[in-house]
Amino acid sequence: MTLLTIQLRLISYFCNVLVYILMKKILILSYFFNPCSLTASNRVTGFAKHLNSFGIFPIIITRNWDLAINTPEDVLKSTGNKVLHKVYETHEVYYLPYTSSLRDRIFLSSKNSIFKKYTSKFLTILTMIFELVSNRFIPYSNFYDFTLDYLQKNKDLKAILTSANPFIQFKFCYLLHKKTGIPWIADYRDAWTTNKMAVQVRGINKALYFLQSKFEKKWCSTAAFFTTVSDNYVEQISDFLKIPGHTILNGYDDTVSCSEFSDSKDFHIVHNGTLYYNQPIEEILNLIIENNKKENKLKIHIHFPGLGFDPKQTLRVSQIMEGYEKYLHITNWLPKNEVLELQKNADLLLMLSYNGFKGIPSSKLYEYIGLQKNILHYPNDKDVIEQILNDTKLGINCDSIQEVKEKFDALILCKLNKSSFKKMNEDRILFYSRQKQTEILASKINSII
């Protein structure tokens, strides 16, 4: 190694140290974070990756994720026995040990025991009540203890951002704010007690939401502001909390280069991730069956990567497709690169809106946008999903199942003729990237620190 090389490396090192010193440092509390493979981790992982570009150095506090997540129950398992500290150019992460609660341990062992199942449900209700008043009932209460200790030892922290759910993390920030005076930001990946779907629940769950709403207002009213994933959510949460809110969309990581149609002789549709009870998949599946009954029609396949996670929705879909199983493809969780590959090779991406609800753009919408492929949206929500798809010009918004059928036919014809159906606005597509959305977040953070 030459003297000049050594000198250049030293200069680079000291420049990096100087940049780090000049950066505004914030803490981010998030139960979900990379390498957690669940969708919930993507939002904060994106913040951590990009905030550095806008003068903010994030230090993330999360739970240990040193486990494979093959079923929903895997999230409840204990993992880690010490604090792991990892430092990157763009951020730092503290991974805290996670110990399953008594409720979780009973739930994990309740597969063949009716008694244990009901005991677990009873403990769930108790936990939801008592965690509001005591951290002892929160299995990840070490988040609070660790963060308080960290703040007391590091006086250069400018703010805390907490991304929820779990919404009980807002309580930690409320308590930390009371003890240290540090400003904090409540990041809602979903609405909590103002969630329109939650409002429809009955019985004990309705009573629990009412109780939680009192604490949500108490805790979050002390936040400097809140952020959430749509303008609709901003309006309803702000009306409840009486504090300012800002829309920070979930966004996509990077655009992916891929052809408009696949090389397959058949036509392939992909619906990624979770399927909800109020999304009208039956109409789409029946349309596929109707198409595939015809001898001279290109056969339509539909893929549901990740749906195997949910036995109820898997059964719902499988029963409709009985007799046409060879056109139905359901998998359990897949690594992200495999899901992207599946979507890249699709002829159409399916975006189902929620019957009776507005303002809910799921994370898959942004991933779809990053792929720059045709996106069929049904039924048209006449709201945020339609707006985003019209803005990017990637959307095929359908008001009726007859319109869906017509679009299927038009797309199949384009594939057969090797012509293009797609129109897109590349500049507007870039607006929905995580980098651009993090830039908006950074400007809001800088306004309070």
Pair 355, 397 in one domain: yes
Residue 134 lies in a domain: no
User: Residue 449 is encoded by which pair of tokens?
Assistant: 């620190």
Contact in structure between 296 and 412 (CB atoms under 8 Å):
no
Residue 257 lies in a domain: no
SS3 377: strand
Pair 312, 328 in one domain: yes
Residue 440 lies in a domain: yes
Range of the domain at 57: 23-100+139-251+436-446
Residue 373 lies in a domain: yes
Pair 61, 171 in one domain: yes
- Residue 405 is predicted with a pLDDT of 96
Pair 66, 159 in one domain: yes
Pair 221, 292 in one domain: no
Contact in structure between 411 and 421 (CB atoms under 8 Å):
yes
Q: Which of 148, 156, 150, 218 is nearest to 176 (CA)?
A: 148
Pair 209, 84 in one domain: yes
Structural Rg of the chain based on CA atoms = 24
Contact in structure between 349 and 304 (CB atoms under 8 Å):
no
Pair 279, 233 in one domain: no
Q: Alpha-carbon distance 363 to 241, whole Å? A: 25
Q: Any idea how long the chain is?
A: 449
Residue 398 lies in a domain: yes
Pair 61, 143 in one domain: yes
- Residue 18 is predicted with a pLDDT of 46
- Residue 358 is predicted with a pLDDT of 67
Q: Which of 11, 419, 387, 381 is nearest to 196 (CA)?
A: 381
- Which DSSP string corresponds to 271-326? --S---TTS-HHHHHHHHHHHHHSTTSPPEEEEETTGGG-HHHHHHHHHHTTT-GG
- Residue 449 is predicted with a pLDDT of 87
Question: 3-state secondary structure string, 49-117?
Answer: HHHHHHCEEEEEEEECCCCCCCCHHHHHCCECCCCEEEECCCCEEEEECECCCHHHHHHHCCCCCHHHH
Pair 337, 198 in one domain: no
Pair 241, 289 in one domain: no
Looking at residue 138, the DSSP 8-state letter turns out to be -
Residue 124 lies in a domain: no
- Residue 1 is predicted with a pLDDT of 66
Residue 18 lies in a domain: no
CATH number at residue 310: 3.40.50.2000
- Residue 32 is predicted with a pLDDT of 96
Residue 178 lies in a domain: yes
Pair 280, 208 in one domain: no
Q: First vs last Cα of the chain: how many Å apart?
A: 43
Q: Alpha-carbon distance 412 to 415, whole Å? A: 5
Q: Alpha-carbon distance 159 to 226, whole Å? A: 13
User: Residue 331 is encoded by which pair of tokens?
Assistant: 């998998």
Pair 327, 188 in one domain: no
Q: Report how many domains make up the chain.
A: 2
Question: How would you write the pLDDT of the chain (449 residues) with one tens digit per residue?
Answer: 676 665 556 555 554 554 456 689 999 999 999 999 888 899 999 999 999 999 999 999 999 999 888 777 889 899 999 999 999 999 999 999 999 998 888 888 877 788 777 888 888 888 999 999 999 999 999 999 999 999 999 999 999 999 999 999 999 999 999 999 999 999 999 899 988 766 556 678 788 889 999 999 999 999 999 999 989 899 999 999 999 999 999 999 888 888 999 999 999 999 998 898 889 999 999 999 999 998 877 899 999 999 998 899 999 999 999 999 999 999 988 888 889 899 999 999 999 987 766 666 788 899 999 999 999 999 998 888 999 999 999 999 999 999 999 999 999 999 999 999 988 898 899 999 999 999 999 999 999 98
Q: Alpha-carbon distance 100 to 254, whole Å? A: 35
